[in-house]
Amino acid sequence: DIQMTQSPSSLSASVGDRVTITCRASQSIISYLNWYQQKPGKAPKLLIYAASSLQSGVPSRFSGSGLGTDFTLTISSLQPEDFATYYCQQSYNSPYTFGQGTKVEIK
Amino acid sequence: QVQLVQSGAEVKKPGASVKVSCKAYGYTFTGYYLHWVRQAPGQGLEWMGWINPKSGVTKYAQKFQAWVTMTRDTSISTVYMELIRLRSDDTAVYYCARETRDVYNRPTFDIWGQGTLVTVSS
Contact A103, A83 (CB under 8 A): no
**Which of A43, A46, A87 lies at the smallest CB-CB distance from B114?**
A43
Cβ-based contacts of B115 with chain A (< 8 Å): 43
CA distance A38 to A102: 10
CB atoms A95 and B103 under 8 Å: no
CA angle A28, B60, B120 (to 5 degrees): 115
pLDDT digits (tens, 9 = 90+) for B56-110: 999 999 999 999 999 999 999 999 999 999 999 999 999 999 999 988 889 999 9
**Which of B46, B59, B112 lies at the smallest CB-CB distance from A44?**
B112
* Confidence (pLDDT) at A106: 87
pLDDT digits (tens, 9 = 90+) for A23-64: 999 999 999 999 999 999 999 999 999 999 999 999 999 999
CB proximity A101 to B under 8 Å: yes
Contact B15, B120 (CB under 8 A): no
